[in-house]
Amino acid sequence: MSAEVTDPALDEWRTYDEFAAGIDTYRLPNVDLDGTSLALTLNDGQTLALAFGPGTVAWSGLGASGTDPYDAVAVRDDVVFANLPLETREREALTVVYSTTTHRATVIRSRIAAEAVEGTPQVGQEFWAATTDGGTPAGEVPGPSRDLIGKRNVYRYSPHHLYEHVYVSSQRYAWQCLEGVQRGHGDMDLSTVWKFADGLYLFCFREFRIAVASVWLHDLGYQLMTTGIFLGLNGEGASEHSRAGGHIYPLGSVSYPDAQPV
């Protein structure tokens, strides 16, 4: 006999730290980048330098510098997802995805605005395509993609986190919680999708109802895994960083016969 399901009241909207607890249970394991370095040239001419030590990274670029903690995941043998949950710059995170074979990269800066503005997500994001100093860049330049429009996937992050995503346009996606503290809740939020490589898609969202944004790298190839991070304000109003990740289960997709979404 299945266990009884207790649904929360729809007006009991959960805070970021409540739903994020344990959402990294099925995340891919971290890798140690100690002793390595990376110099990136962004598509607008800016640079970002990273020198990894034991558990920290010294970084400089984008008009600032510091030494902060990091976490990194080898999403594929040649692709690394590295996140800097900055302590030297409160309410900010830098996420870098890079390939050691194509020497292509993406850089995402997530920042929490000082004040909430009605109708605008409080956590904003900026995106850059980049190249690394590892060798001559090859292959497609990472950039905006429409490949996920019409797709419908379920994401299992832990035994207690199950979410459905429907990618409705180049600017928005719809989500609902099927299992977890947000069960019964859902919304349509701003999103950005970039293609990084074959089967690898950067998916980022910025929520309206609570101050939180996220950066994910979906591997929709053979692995069907996703690796991500959150930045947002917790129930106490303080900035908080969280890791996330898990399994992807495609449910299907639709195609539009004539007029296309934005």
Express each pLDDT in 34-74 by its tens digit.
999 999 999 999 999 999 999 999 999 999 999 999 999 99
Parse the chain into domains and list their residue ranges. 16-253
Express each pLDDT in 5-22 by its tens digit.
455 555 678 888 899 899
Of 62, 87, 82, 78, nearest to 70 by C-alpha is: 82
Of 128, 87, 94, nearest to 111 by C-alpha is: 94
Taking the CA atoms of 11, 216, 71 and 133 in sequence, report the sign of the dihedral they define: negative
Distance CA 65, CA 156 (A): 36
Express each pLDDT in 161-212 by its tens digit.
999 999 999 999 999 999 999 999 999 999 999 999 999 999 999 999 999 9
Q: How many CB atoms lie within 10 A of CB 56?
A: 16
